[in-house]
Each structure stands twice: as structure tokens, then as C-alpha cells.
């Protein structure tokens, strides 16, 4: 019995010792604050952040020309290679020119006849002039001679114009390229009968260097942007444009916004913006779908917050946790509608100098005690190894 009582007393003393040690550890932790979870924070700073706009668009040839005949006739030869590059003025088709050459010859003969008649009339006037002064002929005869000479000169001018018209028509028998660029397939073959009034072109030429990109932006977005610019909320951005191709790759050359259309489409409610891009390698073809990216404005008072710091409520509203001056977590609603790289752009709800918690936000609550350290600092995880070993014994 005495031995049993001794064992019980020793066990009670050991339990009391362990309890006092635990209370002492808890008191030390509460006194030093090491029991509060450690979190990493970044200091909010106001920055000028570009408002990047992403718009879908289509490529459009810089110049497009439909090759059409200006005279009637049979095509004798095609003088170009389909799909090749042609220069302005280069012959493309040859139309049978027999009739037009004959018309030139006839006009030339008529002009020669008119000139001969004019020469005779001028000679008559020259002879009648001294006779009229001596009153050797009737004055009316001299007046008639002068009139005939004027008519003869007018006939020469008329026939000269007719000859020039015939020569122009003869030149039209050789169909040339109106512009320089890439020519597509030929829609007419040698032996085909063509006319000046036909609806179908013979071929189409497109100039693709440089090339246009037409983008569509909603009129509501443009109105909001204009109001923000007028109020000073944002500053005007750059006119430089970048492109993403259909496969997601980036286009190697930057373009420039040329103009914004002044008419809103009634069908889509959008406004067309046109940008111009260099296309020396022919990567962009007319009709391609691309995505245009450009900084339409600059927000001078935005705050960038790492994406890990921002959370969403059930209603979709955004919030972050701040490290308060009293070492307690503060839940704050913010406005963040877009991202830039790995950060959210916060436009409302934060002030410069506030400490935004970016690490250890998983189990935080409003007013919870915390130990705030700069982000990416070494953080204490778990209890010290020595105390863990003692407790395990």
C-alpha cells in the first residue's frame, strides 16, 4: 500500500509539471505573439497602367482593283502569271485590235483631208486680201473666204480629236494593270469575248504591303472612353497596335491606328477602327481573322495587386485582406476588372501605402490576429524542433 500511494503521488506531480509547462508555453506564445499566423504582404503603390484593349479584326488589302475591259473584242493572249506580282501599267491581256487599228487609220486620213482643205482655204484668203483692199472683188467674196478658212480650221481640230480618240481606243485593246500588287487567277481565257459593259472582272489585283486591319469596337465602350478622357480619369494612350494571328502567335511588326469611323453600324452597334501594318513577307493575307491589342488609354492612378491576393465573393465581387496597424486582418472590397501580366488592376478600394496580404490568405478572417512580414520572407511553420522533441518524450 505505501508503495502504491507513492506511485500515485509521483504520477500526480508529473501531470502537474506537464500542465504547468504547457501553460507556460502558451503564456510565452501569447506574450510574444508567435501564436498568430504569419502572412506575407506587399505595399500598395499607385502606378500608371495602360488600359489595353483587345479587339477582333479582319485584314483588308491596302488597295484593290478589278481588271475590266474598256473595249469589246476577243482576247488573243494573257500576258501575266496567275498569283504573281504585277506593276502598274504592265500589260495583262491583249484584245484583237484589228478594228481599232482601222479606225485609227481612217481618222488619220480624215485629218489629212481636213488639213488639205484648210490649206486651200487659207490660200484663198491670202489671195483675196489685196484684191479686197483695191476693191477689185466684192467685199462679200472676201468675207466668205474668211469664213471658209475658219470652218476648215475647225474641221482640222475635229478630225485631230477623232484621231486621238481612235488611238486611245486602240490602246485600250491592251489591258494593263491599274495598280501594283498581287494578281489572282484569271477569270477569262484566250478566245473569250469580252465587252466594256460586262459585270465580271477579268482578274483582281490586291496590294498587301502595307495592309489594313479593320477592328470592331462597341459604341458604348468608345463613349465610356471619351467620357473618361474628358473627365481626366484616364490619359490618351498610344496609337501603336500589336497583332495575334489565328494560331495565337504574335505578328512580328507593330501597326498604327489610322482612324475611327464616324458611323455606328445599326446591325451590330459597333464602330470600325482601322490600323495599318507593314507586311513585307506577305504573312497577312486579305480576309484573315486576327486579334488586335493596343493601349487605348492610360490610367495614372491604378494599383497593381498580385493575383494571389485577390479573392471573389459568392456574388462575384472582389476583396483583399490588409495587414492592419494593430496586427489584425482587414477584409476590404475592391474594384478589379482586368489583369496585367500576373497582377490585378485595382481601380477603387485601395490606397497607396496599405499592406496587401498576398501569402497565407487561405484561412484569414476579418479581425483575425496575424504576424505580417514582407512577402517572400522566411516564415515559421509549426513549433520549434526542440519543444516538439520534449513533448514527444
Q: What is the pLDDT of residue 377?
A: 65
Q: Which of 67, 66, 73, 65 is CA-nearest to residue 173?
A: 73
Q: Is the pLDDT of residue 81 over 90?
A: yes
CA angle 91, 94, 99 (to 5 degrees): 135
Question: CA torsion sign, 281 to 283 to 286 to 291?
Answer: negative
DSSP track, 164-178: HHHHHHHHHTEEE-S
d(CA 167, CA 219): 53
pLDDT the model gives residue 172: 95
Residue 33 CB neighbour total at 10 angstroms: 11
Q: What is the pTM of this model?
A: 0.66
The answer, yes or no, to whether residue 181 has pLDDT greater than 70, is: yes
> How many angstroms separate the CA atoms of 221 and 296, rounded?
11
CB neighbours of 56 closer than 8 A, spacing ≥ 6?
215, 216, 289, 290, 291, 292
CA distance 291 to 84: 28
pLDDT of residue 234: 62
User: Mean pLDDT throughout 357-381?
Assistant: 79
Q: Which residue has the higher pLDDT, 241 or 381?
A: 241
- Rounded to whole angstroms, how far apart are CA atoms 330 and 280? 56
Residue bearing cell 505578328: 251
Average pLDDT over residues 332-340: 86
Q: Given the C-alpha cell 488619220, which residue does it identify?
A: 108
Decide: 359 and 375 in contact? Cβ < 8 Å: yes
Query: In the prediction, which pLDDT does 39 show?
Result: 87
Tell me what pLDDT residue 52 has.
79
Per mean pLDDT, which of 26-30, 79-83, 352-356, 376-380 is the most reliable?
79-83
Q: Which one of 189-203, 222-236, 324-338 scores highest in mean pLDDT?
A: 189-203
CB of 131 closer than 8 Å to CB of 200: no
- pLDDT digit string, tens, across residues 282-319: 899 999 999 998 887 787 788 888 888 888 988 888 99
Q: Which residue has the higher pLDDT, 276 or 9?
A: 276
Greater model confidence, 167 or 382: 167
CA distance linking residue 366 with residue 355, whole number of Å = 15
Q: List the end-to-end C-alpha distance of the chain, in Å, as a whole number.
A: 29
Amino acid at each position: 500500500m505505501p508503495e502504491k500511494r507513492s506511485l500515485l503521488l509521483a504520477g500526480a506531480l508529473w501531470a502537474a509539471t506537464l500542465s504547468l509547462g504547457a501553460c507556460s508555453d502558451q503564456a510565452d506564445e501569447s506574450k510574444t505573439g508567435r501564436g498568430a499566423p504569419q502572412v506575407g504582404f506587399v505595399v500598395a503603390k499607385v502606378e500608371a497602367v495602360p488600359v489595353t484593349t483587345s479587339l477582333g479584326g479582319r485584314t483588308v488589302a491596302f488597295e484593290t482593283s478589278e481588271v475590266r475591259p474598256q473595249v469589246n473584242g476577243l482576247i488573243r493572249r494573257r500576258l501575266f502569271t496567275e498569283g504573281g506580282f504585277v506593276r502598274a501599267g504592265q500589260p495583262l491581256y491583249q484584245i484583237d485590235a484589228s478594228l481599232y487599228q482601222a479606225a485609227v487609220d481612217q481618222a488619220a486620213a480624215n485629218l489629212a483631208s481636213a488639213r488639205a482643205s484648210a490649206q486651200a482655204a487659207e490660200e484663198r484668203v491670202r489671195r483675196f486680201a489685196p484684191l479686197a483692199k483695191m476693191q477689185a472683188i466684192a467685199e462679200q467674196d472676201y468675207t466668205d473666204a474668211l469664213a471658209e478658212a475658219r470652218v476648215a480650221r475647225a474641221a482640222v481640230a475635229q478630225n485631230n480629236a477623232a484621231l486621238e480618240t481612235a488611238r486611245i481606243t486602240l490602246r485600250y485593246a491592251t489591258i494593263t494593270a491599274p495598280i501594283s500588287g498581287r494578281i489572282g487567277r484569271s477569270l477569262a481565257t484566250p478566245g473569250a469575248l469580252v465587252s466594256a459593259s460586262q459585270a465580271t472582272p477579268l482578274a483582281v489585283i490586291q496590294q498587301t504591303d502595307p495592309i489594313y486591319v479593320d477592328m470592331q469596337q462597341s459604341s458604348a465602350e468608345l463613349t465610356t472612353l471619351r467620357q473618361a478622357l474628358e473627365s481626366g480619369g484616364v490619359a490618351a494612350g498610344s496609337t501603336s497596335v500589336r497583332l495575334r494571328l489565328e494560331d495565337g502567335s504574335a505578328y512580328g511588326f507593330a501597326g498604327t491606328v489610322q482612324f475611327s469611323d464616324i458611323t455606328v453600324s445599326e446591325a451590330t452597334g459597333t464602330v470600325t477602327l482601322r490600323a495599318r501594318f507593314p507586311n513585307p513577307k506577305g504573312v497577312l493575307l486579305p480576309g484573315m481573322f486576327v486579334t488586335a491589342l493596343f493601349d487605348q488609354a492610360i490610367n495614372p492612378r491604378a494599383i497593381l495587386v498580385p493575383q494571389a491576393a485577390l479573392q471573389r465573393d459568392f456574388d462575384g465581387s472582389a476583396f483583399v485582406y490588409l495587414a492592419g496597424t494593430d496586427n489584425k486582418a482587414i477584409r476590404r472590397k475592391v474594384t478589379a476588372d482586368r489583369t496585367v501580366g500576373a497582377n490585378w488592376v485595382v481601380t477603387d478600394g485601395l490606397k497607396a501605402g496599405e499592406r496587401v496580404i498576398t501569402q497565407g490568405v487561405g484561412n484569414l478572417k476579418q479581425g483575425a490576429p496575424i504576424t505580417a512580414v514582407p512577402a517572400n520572407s522566411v516564415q515559421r511553420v509549426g513549433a520549434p524542433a526542440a519543444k516538439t522533441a520534449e513533448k514527444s518524450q
